Amino acid sequence: MKYTILCLLFLTLVPCVLFAQDVPEPRDPFLFTLGVRLLGVDIGLGYIVSDTSSGDPDTILWAIAGGGYEWLNFFRDPNNEEYDGSYMPGIYDPEESPYYVRVGGRFDLGIAQGILFNKQPGHNLFEAFAFYRIRYDFPLDNTEVTELLFDSSPPETDGLFQNSVIAGLTWHDLDTSDPHLTINGIYAETSVEWGPEWLMNDLAGRADFLRFNLTAKGFLLLFDIAPREKLNLLSGYAGFFFAADYCLGDTIPLNIQQTIGGRNSRWGLGYAVRGYEDARFDGQLKAVLNLEYRMNISQFNIGLGNVTPGIVIFFDSGYYDYVYYDNSGFLFSAGAGVYINLLGFTSLTFYTAFPFSRELAAGGWWMPFAIDFDAHF
């Protein structure tokens, strides 16, 4: 009899214990993102409206706001051809004319709905998203310098108020939880962004465009000589980033032509291919492939958290096509740099690069110094 009672207790308690172990702990419903500009910031706040302890995919409401005072580039001559420093040298100076200042702000409001959930890191594995985007850009004319932007007079020369909607899918299988700051896994995204003129895109300036984007990045841990140590001693991993971007429309604004889109856009094709001037080689079609090796050196603690220095070696390639007129080509570059990760929150990366398929606009085959906030991808 006593064995029967013990068996019944065992059969009753074991499933309860197993069930209790399978129930995930409630997670903080608030999410936070930070994007740093040279003189500005973009802050994102997300709130998980679904039950964070259920283990089901998350439903997240997002609001992103920011702005800044930025030094930007415009590498086209008044004929809308690519500017390479040789156009009217007595009037335009390749050291000054392509550069201008812009002030502006943005506000995004949207939702992300999980389709599959990754319980181990505790975030959506497969997700659909949709955002409404508002931005305002206003370039500042420096009357002491003959600037290409104002001589070329794109629609946003006197300011641009732009509205668009973006929707897409993401696959997020990156593991960024390692305290030694190595990364493993894959992230992929596809999106469509639409900014028709009738969506209040003729109130200031003009915009009328459609953009398609495909982005993917992946990382592979190569070694960690002391994986059980609290502080990293020496570890290394490799990564790749790929993006293809195509935009079309009656009036494509500069912030679309000069960037590679998605949820988080970047300058392109210059900058996306390091060693070339930011936003040079813009156009309707852009594709980039970055290959990178990163090595984290010994961490040290400063009380508030860990600081992690490291080195990076990279090879970049890309392709651009203006589509509407005859100008296209491939870009290649290689380089190396050093970085320092602050408290696991953000990084500063300093690098030097050698573009070896096209010269810089001011001449030369070496960009001696550049800086990235956070990792390049």
Res 37: pLDDT: 85
Say whether pLDDT at 21 is over 70. Answer: no
Cα distance between residue 158 and residue 203, in whole Å: 12
Cα distance between residue 114 and residue 172, in whole Å: 11
pTM: 0.89
Average the pLDDT over 241-259 and give the result: 96
Q: What is the DSSP letter of 100?
A: E
Say whether pLDDT at 6 is over 50. Answer: no
Res 66: pLDDT: 97
Contact 338, 316 (CB under 8 A): no
For 57-96, the three-class secondary structure string (H helix, E strand, C coil) is CCEEEEEEEEEEEEEEECCECCCCCECCCCCCCCCCCCCC
Q: Where residue 253 falls among pLDDT bands split at 50, 70, 90?
A: very high
Neighbours of 325 (CB within 10 A): 11
Cα distance between residue 151 and residue 300, in whole Å: 51
Q: Which of 24-28, 278-282, 291-295 has the highest mean pLDDT?
A: 291-295
Q: Which contiguous run of DSSP H or E holds residue 47? A: strand 40-48
Q: What is the DSSP letter of 151?
A: H
- Between 146 and 324, the more confident residue is 146
Res 102: pLDDT: 96
Burial 4-28 (b: 16+ CB within 10 A, else e): eeeeeeeeeeeeeeeeeeeeeeeee
17 HSE (CA, 13 A, CB side): 6
185-219 per-position pLDDT tens digit: 999 999 999 999 999 999 999 999 999 999 999 99
- Between 8 and 353, the more confident residue is 353
CA-based nearest residue to 171, from 129, 108, 210? 129
Sign of CA dihedral 323, 260, 355, 316: negative
Cα distance between residue 247 and residue 166, in whole Å: 13
The CA–CA distances, whole Å, from 349 to 132, 192, 294 equal 32, 31, 11
